Chains A and B, each alone.
Chain A
Amino acid sequence: MLFNSWTFALFLLIVFIGYYFGPQWLSGRAVGQIGWLTLASFIFYGWHTPWLVVLLALSTFVNAEAGRRLLDPAAVPRVRLRVLWVALSFNLGALAFFKYASLFARLLLPTALWNKWRPFLGDIPLPIGISFYTFQGISLVMDLYRAGADGVPGATFPRGIRETLWFQERTWFFKSFFPQLISGPIVKAHEFFYQIGHKRLRNIDWDGAVKHLIGGFFLKMVVADNLKEASAALSYPQFLALPRGSLIAMLYGFSFQIFADFCGYSMIAIGLGKLFGYELPVNFRHPYLSRSITEFWRRWHISLSTWLRSYLYIPLGGNRHGVLRTYFNLFIVMFLGGLWHGAAWSYAVWGTAHGVFLAVERMAGMHGKDVEPESRWSLVAIVRAFITFNVVSILWLLFKLPDFRHVIAYVKCLIHNGGGIVPQQLFVIGLFSLPVVLMHLHAAVRNRLNRMHTWAGDTVWAWSETLVYSVMLLLIIVDSGTPGAFIYFQF
């Protein structure tokens, strides 16, 4: 079910009413509310492909059971380690089978065997959101393993049937909460379990929810969906006949589109979470203001980069085992992070390229020196931000054209095709990239704006804010683009 569909609007209304205004047994206690939301989440997930709920249920059950055993105070370390390995193997095995079986079989199997198995391996469907909910499952078992018998806040060892059922219910809810189920933000167990409980209508952060929902829908429906058609020609063989200017404009158009699409999704998820009384982590902090690739990864898909740091980079040793090992760890994390996005080598190359930049920046001593955009912008900082944006945008090419031959064809076209630009494309990309540019500029001059706030007073400031959000809502109503799925659904 798409957030930007009428079906979802109706679904949300029903779920919201049942959650806060349903009968006492449903809305009066945490058990009823959590059960209702979990049921709704499974319906949401299986709306188009019902059999997928079986996979989600199986994944949830295995992780919940592993979590329960990890919390058992009677479990000795050897048993706990074994439980952890079983759970990790299950999670990674499911991901490997559904997402990478075809890729690795083609690489590892002899040609004759590959040809024999191809009809089966090549047709394995990719369950939507599997990368996200698998990572949440891993987060659950890792957090509980690390925490030991004490558990994490909100998740302790259940005693008796009643507590076990309650623990299962909360774990099923954690794994399936529909706002972030399909494309994140990836929630860690220690960030979420303590929030689970009975929620009341009067405690809703309405302003936060409305602002996130308007901002998110604006980025998705007005910016990303309108940019989609202009950058659609950045696919093989459509781009072959296009002039050089169009090829370059489409690359930047896609750069803005993917940001608006993914950031929009995350903002909608956060807004929906607030409607049900839950705080989901921020996923984007104006990534195109980054002055280095290191800073970019602190601002782009934050829930993934912090996940990779917590559950991969640090367990691998992080930077605690010398320089060479640190670079190796960086390389592995970014390689796997790239491959996480899709079963194609271009994603791995994309991740590795980012890893190389991270390593180079570390060598140059640029890591950890990032400053917030609110601080002063020097000419050097502006130039660095400009270079970083261009590097990131060029690397998006590997996302848009996952076949290397097509990337090479694009570069050849860039060299050989004539100059010029398709005016319609220029118009669309120029106009609909503008909100993203303004959004970043707003963050870059926030300090000055805060001073203006003091000077203008609260009333004027509140009205300006109201006007900005109202114009965004107006544009959602009258200027949305062709409705379509979110880009990150394919991952």
Chain B
Amino acid sequence: MKRLSLSILGTTAVLLALYATLLRLTGLQADFAETNFEANLSQIYNYLQGEHQTAVLVGSSLSARILPQYFAEAGLGVGNLGLDGSKVATGIALLRMRSDLPGLVMLEANSLLAPQTLNDREILNSMRGPSFWLGKRLFFLRPQARPSALLYSWFKRRRDVRLSGEGAAFAVDLTQRTSLTTGATNAVPIDAAHSEFEKGLKEQIRFLQGHGVRVAIVRLPAGKDDLTAPPFATTPAGIFAAAMGIPSIDLRDEFARRHEKVYYTDTLHMTGPSARSAATILAEWLRQNHLVPAQAKAARIQPK
């Protein structure tokens, strides 16, 4: 090989080693990613490669905003499997890829009954390739170590702080809800495919419960539509929770009860401070309802 080619390969190896050392020494890790796909991979690596989680929040990008550190500040260790554009069923499938199940699983009501999409399949497919296998072994190949994600996280954290108050994209005062106590059911007609999906979801939940995992369902605030949305108990997710006897909480009601506005960075996703409040409310609710699992207790399964 010619000299230039060899020096490029050599210099790259040195740069890679320096980069890995820098990450290791500083502990730098991205909390967010600039694309949904990378954000999801990042969450998955955090979950699969991290320590045992006593509790996990499973859902879509709405859940992804409630970072583990917010729960930690509320005195609770909760992992996050909130995947952008994904559904709860994908999160549950991921839970079963570890041999130790968490003691408590909180399922996001907003995406609970939505069937998996192309996005979900893309995530699960990407986990079968050599890139994911390499990422599991070499931390600097994970999405959390991407230079662009590190830069984006830095920008996003700064922006979220700036948006915490009046600067937010918009705020919703949930005490103004038109259907706080009554409202029409927005149940959708259930076709055969959906019914099959729901059956599968029930089996997944029963599998978790059968291994001693406590399950809870959480309805998260999701933008302006919350003002006119029907009460949770009358929605398909609420009916599903009641039918399975799963404890549930509607955070919209809790925010309204506290007279606390919910702030959003865009049309759907909570800002950091609102997500922090959500974590605090959830932690309190879990304690009050004795849903907090014991630290050391972990059901063992054969990972899929």
Interface residues of A (CB under 8 A from B): 6, 206-207, 209-211, 214, 226, 229-230, 241, 422-424, 427-428, 431-432, 462, 465-467, 469-471, 473-475, 477-479, 481-483
- CB of B145 to closest CB in A, whole Å: 6
Distance in angstroms between the alpha carbons of A214 and B1 in the assembled complex: 15
Closest residue on chain B to residue A481 by CB atoms: B35
- CB of A478 to closest CB in B, whole Å: 6
Number of B residues, CB within 8 Å of A:
34
**Majority-rule SS of A interface residues:** helix
B75 within 8 A of A: no
Other-chain contact of B19, A207, A428, A474 (Cβ < 8 Å): A474
- CB of A220 to closest CB in B, whole Å: 15
- List the B side residues contacting A428 at CB < 8 Å: 34-35
- List the A side residues contacting B5 at CB < 8 Å: 206-207, 209-210
Other-chain contact of B7, A466, A474, A478, A479 (Cβ < 8 Å): A466
Known: A424-B34, A482-B38. A465 touches B16 (CB 8 A): no
Known: A6-B129, A207-B2, A207-B4. A226 touches B35 (CB 8 A): yes
- List the A side residues contacting B129 at CB < 8 Å: 6
* A209, A423, A462: residue with the most chain B Cβ atoms closer than 10 Å: A423
Distance in angstroms between the alpha carbons of A226 and B35 in the assembled complex: 8
Interface residues of B (CB under 8 A from A): 1-2, 4-5, 7-9, 11-12, 15-16, 19, 34-38, 122, 129-131, 140-141, 145-148, 151-152, 155, 159, 265-267
**Majority-rule SS of B interface residues:** helix
Known: A473-B8, A479-B146. A6 touches B34 (CB 8 A): no
Other-chain contact of A470, B2, B15, B131, B146 (Cβ < 8 Å): B15
- List the B side residues contacting A226 at CB < 8 Å: 34-35, 148
Known: A206-B2, A478-B141. A214 touches B8 (CB 8 A): yes
- List the A side residues contacting B145 at CB < 8 Å: 478
Closest residue on chain A to residue B147 by CB atoms: A479
Closest residue on chain B to residue A465 by CB atoms: B4
A-B contact pairs, 27 of them (CB 8 A): A6-B129, A206-B1, A206-B2, A206-B5, A207-B5, A210-B5, A211-B4, A226-B148, A229-B36, A422-B266, A424-B152, A428-B34, A428-B35, A462-B4, A465-B4, A466-B7, A466-B11, A474-B12, A474-B15, A477-B12, A477-B16, A477-B141, A478-B16, A478-B19, A479-B147, A482-B37, A482-B38
Distance in angstroms between the alpha carbons of A110 and B152 in the assembled complex: 56
Distance in angstroms between the alpha carbons of A214 and B7 in the assembled complex: 13
Which 5 A-B pairs give the minimum distances between C-beta atoms?
A470-B11, A210-B5, A482-B37, A229-B35, A206-B2
* B35 near A479: Cβ-Cβ < 8 Å: no
A229-B35, A424-B152, A469-B8 are known contacts; what are 17 more A-B pairs with Cβ within 8 Å? A6-B131, A206-B2, A226-B148, A422-B266, A423-B155, A428-B34, A466-B8, A471-B15, A473-B8, A474-B16, A475-B147, A478-B19, A478-B145, A478-B147, A481-B37, A481-B38, A482-B37
* B8 near A478: Cβ-Cβ < 8 Å: no
Distance in angstroms between the alpha carbons of A229 and B37 in the assembled complex: 9
Other-chain contact of B152, A209, A427, A477 (Cβ < 8 Å): A427
- List the B side residues contacting A478 at CB < 8 Å: 16, 19, 140-141, 145-147
